[in-house]
């Protein structure tokens, strides 16, 4: 996790409290969840049958998939319910909020994906987000 590219995703104001919102980034659909005191991010597809986790009900630090009620822990990505799916999981991503802007940490190995993404102009890697405040004034891609 030391080799992350921090990507500007959206303004914190666009994420309603206790709800999820999808964002496309380097060919991946990622769900962002505003828990009030922090933002958590996971892949947006439930490991059961690919349901959109961003449309689920947020409860504590978990989300309930809207298709078949699988409960996913937003911190670890593990399936909490049903117990039979305990080995299933979704990818989670670190987040930061800098001056009201949500940043998402993606593994460095997707840098080539970012360069070839059709939305690459909207998502530029920030290696030092705290010192790159001037770069945060560019437009964001919103879903």
Domains assigned to the chain: 4-137 (2.102.10.10)
DSSP notation for 15-37: S-BT-EEEEEETTEEEEEEE-SS
What pTM was estimated for this model as a whole?
0.76
pLDDT digits (tens, 9 = 90+) for 13-35: 999 999 999 999 878 899 999 99
Q: What is the chain's mean pLDDT, rounded?
A: 81
Strand arrangement, sheet containing 101-107: 95-98, 101-107, 4-11, 125-126
Mean pLDDT, range 29-52, rounded to an integer: 95
pLDDT over threshold 80, residue 51: yes
Could you give the CA distance from residue 112 to residue 103 in angstroms, rounded to a whole number?
19
Could you give the CA distance from residue 94 to residue 83 in angstroms, rounded to a whole number?
26
């Amino acid at each position: 996790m030391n080799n992350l590219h921090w990507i500007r995703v959206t303004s914190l104001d666009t994420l309603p409290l206790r709800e999820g919102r999808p964002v496309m980034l380097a060919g991946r659909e990622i769900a962002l969840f505003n828990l009030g005191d922090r933002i958590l991010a996971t892949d947006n597809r439930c490991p059961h049958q690919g349901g959109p986790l961003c449309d689920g009900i947020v409860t504590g630090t978990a989300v309930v998939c809207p298709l078949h009620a699988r409960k996913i822990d937003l911190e670890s990505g593990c399936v909490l319910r049903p117990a039979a799916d305990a080995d299933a999981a979704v990818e989670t991503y670190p987040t930061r909020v800098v001056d009201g802007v949500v940043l998402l940490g993606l593994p460095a190995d997707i840098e080539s994906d970012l360069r070839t993404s059709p939305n690459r102009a909207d998502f530029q890697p920030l290696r030092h987000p705290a010192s790159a405040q001037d770069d945060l004034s560019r437009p964001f891609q919103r879903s």
